[in-house]
A and B are shown apart, each in its own frame.
Chain A
C-alpha cells in the first residue's frame, strides 16, 4: 500500500466509526442551535426587526448569528467534539489495536485529525445552510421583514464563516493532541476550558494575537479597523492559527508516535 491508500482507508474507517456516536450528533445539534434561536426570535419579535428604508435585512440577520456563535460557542464546541471523537478510541481500548496493525502510525493520527476537521467543517456548512433556510422561512411568514425582496450578501457571510473556521484550527491541533494523549475525557476538556476562559479575559490585549484560544474572537474583527468591508480571507490571525495548527499537529504526532501505549 502507498501513503495515499493508507490515509484514505484510515479516513474512511473514521467516518464509519462516527456512525451513531454522540460526537456526530453534537455537530448536527451545534449547527442547529443558533439558527433555531433566531427562527423563534424573528418569528416572535418581528415587529422590532423590520428593516429601515434601503436597509438589507440579511446583513444584520447573518452577521449577528455569526457573532453570537463564534466567540463563545464555537471554541467550546471544538473542545468538546474533539475530545468526543478521540474518546471513541479510548473507550473501546482501540489505540493498542490500531498501533499493532500493519499501518503507519501517522495514518491513524492524521486520518483522525482530518475527520475532526471534516466534522467541524460540516457543522459550519450546515450552519450556513440553516441560516439561509431560516431567513427565507421567517421572510415567508412575516413579509414585513422583506427577506424575499433582498438578496443576502453571500460572499461576506461565507468570508466571515471561513475566517471563523480558520481561526479555530490552532485550537483543534492542540485539543486533538491532548485528547489523544490522555485517556481520561476530563483532562483535555478541563485544560481546554481553562485555556479558553483565559482567552476570553485576554483577547482585548494586543498580545492576544499570539494566543490561539483568543482567535475565534479576533477573527471577526480586523485588528486595526472596524470596517467590515476591509476584511480579507486570511487576516493575520488566520495565518497564525494555521501556523499553530501545523505546529501542534506535528508535535502531537511526534509525541504520540513515541508514547508507551498501556
Chain B
C-alpha cells in the first residue's frame, strides 16, 4: 500500500520585517497506491517545501499529510527520499551506503548485505560495489541514492529533482531506468521537477503548481501508454497542452 492524502496544507516562513512569507497555500491532493505523480512548477514555487512536509522533515503550519490512514509526524521508514543534491555518504562505499538504513534498523550484517546487493543489482551497479561515491559519475550516484532509498522497502518514494544536475542523455536514460524500477517494485512515487518533458515522460498525473505562494493550479492526467516516445506527435501534444496551461493559467499573476 502507499496511498497518500494531503489535506489543506499551508506553510509560511518568517521574514526579517516580522511578516510571514506564504510558501504553500491550501494544498489538497490525493495520490493513489502505485501511482506515479509529478509535481511541476517553476523554481521558488514551494515544490521542495511540499516534498519535505510529505517526508516528515519539516512540520506544516497547518494541514495534514496522511499515508495509508496514518498521519505523518516525522520521518518514517515507510517513506524514502532521493535528494536533489548528492546526498550519498562519501565516507561509505556504495554497498555500505545502500545498507545504511538497514543498519540503522539493526538488521544483521549478512542479511543487510544480502538485501543491499539486490538493490545494487536493481540499479545495475554491481561492479561498483566497493567504490566510494567520489569515484562515481553524477548519474551513478543518483542511482545509488535510489537503491539506498528503496532498500528499506518504503511504500512511498519521494524524489526532489533527482536528475536536475545531469546531462540530457544521462537524464533520459535514468528516467527510463526509474520507470523500469517502478514497474518492478510497485512504489507510489511523488517526483518533483521543473521540466515539462520529464513530467510528461514519467507521470500518470502532473500536478502543476503556481509560483509563490504555491497553490495547485491544475491536475493534468497523462494517458499515453508506456514506454512513451518523446518524439511522437501524441507526446508533443500533451507537452503543448501542459505548456499552454502553464502560460495561460499558472503564471505569475
The answer to whether A and B belong to the same complex is no
